[in-house]
Amino acid sequence: MIFHLPKEINHDDASFETFAYLYSQTKELAFDDIEINMEKTVWFAADMCAAFGAILYSLEKRLNTVNLTNISSDIKEILSKNGFLSRFGGVEISDQWGTTISYQQFDGKSDRDFVRYIENEFIYRSELPEMSTELLKKFSESISEIFINAILHSQTQMGIFSCGQFYPTKEQLDFTIVDLGIGIRKNIKDLRGLNLSPEKAIVWATEGNSTTKRGRLPGGLGLKLLCEFIDLNQGSIKIVSDAGYWKRENQQISTESLSNPFPGTIVSIEINTADTNIYSLSST
């Protein structure tokens, strides 16, 4: 089969819909040849490789052959720099300007490799707003907690995927973590017996109604401190799980239902690197 990607892949509901739709069209395929045609695509937000790569990996696990075709030279360059295309028949090239946070897949058995990865490629980047040593440690722990919660609640058999990108012109740093697990809604239903809509399940989880330490429930997802920081920083956090879409931006939360479910959970963080404030933990 041939699947055409749209003109742009961004951090918006339309792009999450694209990947959910790609999954819906291919989830039954096995031993097939699948072409992802990118001739129309002129922009690809590089950290969205985490979601894209997760879907493609699930296809290859079912012994499909996946080919990415008609990639523009600009997109090919950035997806070669972050190591994404090398997983799908391409080559990895040097990132001369250091704007990428590499595309990685983790087996989900331990957080050790992930912690090393974010420390090497994300947490200590000069583009991040200045933080005190204590806050930077908590910030790192919060990012790691998203990964740990994915290990504990997703029941994924296919690992966890992540990728990031710094955009100097946009003054923006994006980082995305994806698991191919059962999703927040099913986890809450199985362990608490609550039959919530996909978007309300995300709201329930992000409001801290439970913690992973109580029966593997997806509690705050590591988002409490991150949300406080993002509100001050004027960035955003977006979560997709099942057919639910949740966004926190400008201290406001919005939700909507996607047309097709995503097979797992996506957490995408956008940091405003134009922020010149200096942050520290509150003494209260």
Residue 209: the pLDDT is: 54
- What pairs with residue 66 in β-bridges? 34
Q: What backbone torsions phi and psi does residue 173 show, to the nearest 5 degrees?
A: -125, 120
Contact 30, 65 (CB under 8 A): no
By mean pLDDT, which of 100-109, 177-186, 208-217 is the weakest? Answer: 208-217
Q: What is the pLDDT of residues 163-204, one digit of tens each?
A: 999 999 999 999 999 999 889 999 889 888 999 999 999 999
Residue 108: the pLDDT is: 74
- pTM (2 d.p.): 0.93
Distance CA(87)–CA(85), nearest Å, equals 5
Q: Is the pLDDT of residue 9 over 90?
A: yes
Residue type, 88: F
Q: Is the pLDDT of residue 208 over 80?
A: no
Tell me which residue of 54, 44, 274, 21 sits closest to 170, measured CA to CA.
274
Q: 157: which residues sit within 8 A by CB, 6+ positions away?
A: 180
Q: Is the pLDDT of residue 59 over 90?
A: yes
Average pLDDT over residues 141-160: 85
User: Reduced to 3 states, what is the DSSP secondary structure of residue 201?
Assistant: helix
Q: Is the pLDDT of residue 243 over 70?
A: yes
Contact 41, 9 (CB under 8 A): yes
Residue 37: the pLDDT is: 98
Residue 198: the pLDDT is: 96
Q: How big is the CA angle at 253 (ends 249 and 256), to the nearest 5 degrees?
A: 110
Q: What are the structural domains, with CATH classification, of the chain?
A: 2-89+102-273 (3.30.565.10)
Contact 94, 243 (CB under 8 A): no
Which strands, in side-by-side order, build the sheet including 172-179?
Answer: 100-106, 160-167, 172-179, 252-272, 236-249
Residue 220: the pLDDT is: 53
Please give the C-alpha separations between residue 265 and each of 153, 192, 203, 245, in angstroms, as whole numbers: 10, 19, 13, 10
